[in-house]
Structure 1
Amino acid sequence: MLLFLTSCTSINNQPEGTVTNDNTQTVVPVQPTPNQLSDDYYRALIVDGKYQSSQNRGVSLDLNSSVNMKAFETDLLKVAKKVFPTDQYFFQEGQIITKEMALSWINRKSEDNPQGLNPESNELIDSTDRSPQYLSQIVEQDFMIETEKGFELGGIAVGLAMNQIDYYNVKDSNSNLNFYEQSLDLETILKEAKSYGNEIVSRLRDETGVESLPIVVGIFLQSPKDSLASGNYVLEGKSTEGRTVEEWIQRNEKRILFPTFDGEETDVNTQFNNFKNEIQLFFPNLSGVTGVGLYQEDKIISLHVDIMTQFYGQTEIIAFTQQITDAANRYLPKNIEIELKVESINGIEAFLTRSENTQTFNYHVFE
């Protein structure tokens, strides 16, 4: 299927080079990716043979850690799928919010930047008195639908990354940078996030082609920058029409780093420690074994494990992978998705996965 792009919000199957409205436009060929890996993923639209990157890429993915960056983008897709099913919509990175718009909205409000969403600076340095920055980043995802005339924009998802800790720096009289941290109150964070979400919906309604489209808004709470576990989306809302989110829904979702050392012992932490001890006895030259469990409604649904080791030889990695498979089957939680990576300074040495409600691991040892 080969169709054609004629505006920022629609794609028509007109012959290449035709005029489709009062303004002369260059018609660009567009087609969806021919394959869909699974129902969990959207097919993407390819414009003129190229994948269309976000209009504000480089701004939207500048968070305080790589694990937050990944979760901020990929988890928004999970939020969006509730409104935009993968068998009815095609994916395109955000094309409405430009780099200039995103930077303006993320920065503090001021006389020079009246569009800023973060509060005006009070010029104070001490974290007890300073006016913090709550909003860290904005990401947009577009969802296209196929019509008799081609493809057109069918809905938008917007993610707002909020700070739990505001990291900032100030130059002293010798031009040396001094670094500070300001912990933020969760209730205030969520109050500000809802306000920002409503304002962004209102601003998007002023954009051509977005006046009556459904807009999904997700509120992402960043984890501290030294955490190996990412943050997560804590609120979601939808604006079917109008200039505000109709209802905010709290998401009971969190990520927990294993092994845990604070709080009371849990079954999953005990299982993880047993797994860790088993593989360390077999292969003592491990640099570290950590896991991140994803919980929904206080129940673990997936576990991703990273195993760092020194690389000695292919036969050792093969033997180690076999031992990991056996230990994982014996100790790690049943009936959840599990992913294990064995890494060294040379990169990934082995990769193992087990799908939900199955008992068999698939694996690959890299040569």
Structure 2
Amino acid sequence: MKKLWITLICLLLVLTSCAPGDKKKEEIVHDEKEKKELSIVPSYKLSKENYRMILPYKPGAARGVIVDQIANRVDVDEVEEGLRRHSKAYFDPEKHIFREGQFLTKDLVIDWLGRKLTKKQLEKEVQEDIDYLKENQMTVNEEKIRKEYTQGLNPPVKNKNDEKEQKKQPKYLSHIVEQNYLITKDKQAQVAGISIGLAMKSVYHFYTEDKEKKRTFHEVEITKKEALEEGYKLAEEILKRMRKMDGLQDTPIMFAIYQEEDRESPVPGNFMAKTLVDKGKNDIGKWEMIKEEHILFPSKQASDKYFEDAEVVKQFTNNIADYFPNYVGMIGRGFYVNEELRQLVLEIPLEFHGKGEVLGFTQYVYGQIKELLSTNYDLEVKIKSNSKMESVLYREAGKEEPRVHIFQ
């Protein structure tokens, strides 16, 4: 017992004291839209697998749009983190610096996420704008007005209150995520690549109104096949538009198609396909299929498809229930690549009555990890009370000993 406590304390000290990284501090001149700004590339990065980032940190040009478009927080996180993960196949973290997207602005993304207009709808909107401008003795630029109304990428509908038409022509595209990857040359930061993530819906929620303005809510499921087919077409159109933007005619652009889970899902959706369009190319070639999935434990899907992993998690859960009478259940999320478990995150909610209980229970979980859970995948176990996170145990794939942090 005494040895185990010493081990836990040592591991905690190691976790809080070490700062892995690369001491490549570099000052660069960042030329963005003809405004030269002095930026700094940090001395450290978390690991060789992570990108360094320019400081001061510059938020994306479309910042905030994603939380209005994607209802599920776990999808918001996964589409951003997953896009960065897949970008590593094309933009080496050892050579590239990460920056949030600066080419697709907030207004532009919102316009692109809208529906296309039918010819009749387009002419009506354009004429109304022209009439308004003339009435107020303002300059009329019909070409510009018309262009603003032809940006939508989702399918058109003649009547938004027609349930059948809405179901036949759902909004497929939820959001467009942009990430930039830079290199430095002669102290100048240059965009060397762009990643575009297309977040596609799995369920389209909408409403119709009757004459009394009473709303009726509906939903329609979108299959993986449908999302992929639409995603392929959208990527082609977005590529054409981006190639017309200043500075992007000769920039490699990576596209990845992601399908969200429904808004109430405890696990995120999955990336389905990706491709790289080389510099100067105006057409998309072959797509590479991505075989990833997030699995909830416990669930029927986990038991049916990954029976052995489900049984191990079940045994881990049962052992905790035997130890702690107030245990109310554990939630697990497994991340699989090519049907191989790469990451397992377990969340244990408990009611504690003192720090001693937290220490004792953390020690018990440490032992259960050592005895039951394989070292073939990254593991994170979060122990929570009603009010806060109490402790975290983490182990990288291939390592024997979990690291421990107990919050004060």
CA–CA distance in structure 1, aligned partners of residues 330 and 209 of structure 2: 39
Match of 1:269 in 2: 310
**Structure with the greater alpha carbon radius of gyration:** 2
Counterpart contact for 1:216–1:238, Cα < 8 Å: yes
Q: How does 1:122-271 map to 2 (within 5 A)?
A: 122-123=158-159, 124-126=162-164, 129-173=167-211, 175-240=213-278, 241-262=280-301, 264=304, 266-271=307-312
Among candidates 142, 147, 155, match of residue 119 of structure 1? 155
| 1:330/1:149 CA distance change after superposition, 3 Å | closer
Match of 1:278 in 2: 319
What TM-score comes out, normalization by structure 2 length? 0.81
Higher share of residues assigned strand: 1
Shift, 1:333, TM fit: 3.0
CA–CA distance in structure 2, aligned partners of residues 338 and 176 of structure 1: 49
CA–CA distance in structure 2, aligned partners of residues 53 and 363 of structure 1: 33
Shift, 1:84, TM fit: 0.3
List runs of 5+ in structure 1 lacking aligned partners: 9-24
| 1:270/1:145 CA distance change after superposition, 3 Å | same
Match of 1:32 in 2: 41
Shift, 1:27, TM fit: 3.1
1:306-345 Cα offsets, whole Å, 9 max, x none, are 1111232111011111111111222223321101111122
| 1:333/1:171 CA distance change after superposition, 3 Å | farther
Match of 1:52 in 2: 58
List runs of 5+ in structure 2 lacking aligned partners: 1-25, 126-148
1:95-131 Cα offsets, whole Å, 9 max, x none, are 0000111011111111253111110024222488442
Shift, 1:3, TM fit: 2.6
**Is 1:41 paired with 2:54?**
no
Match of 2:84 in 1: 77
Secondary structure at 1:6 match in 2: strand
Match of 1:93 in 2: 100
- Alpha-carbon RMSD across the aligned residues, in angstroms, is 1.8
Shift, 1:242, TM fit: 1.7
Greater shift in the superposed pair: 253-262 or 123-132: 123-132
**Is 1:348 paired with 2:372?**
no
Q: Which amino acid is the alignment partner of residue 45 of structure 1?
A: I
Greater shift in the superposed pair: 133-142 or 122-131: 122-131
Match of 2:31 in 1: 6
Match of 1:12 in 2: none
1:219-252 Cα offsets, whole Å, 9 max, x none, are 0110121211111111001100322222211101
1:278-316 Cα offsets, whole Å, 9 max, x none, are 111111223330111111111111101111112321110
1:118-157 Cα offsets, whole Å, 9 max, x none, are 1002422248844201101111000011102511111000
| 1:166/1:122 CA distance change after superposition, 3 Å | same
Counterpart contact for 2:157–2:165, Cα < 8 Å: no
Shift, 1:173, TM fit: 5.0
Identity of aligned residues (%): 27
Counterpart contact for 1:271–1:333, Cα < 8 Å: no
CA–CA distance in structure 2, aligned partners of residues 88 and 155 of structure 1: 12
1:155-184 Cα offsets, whole Å, 9 max, x none, are 000000001111223345554543322111
Match of 1:290 in 2: 331
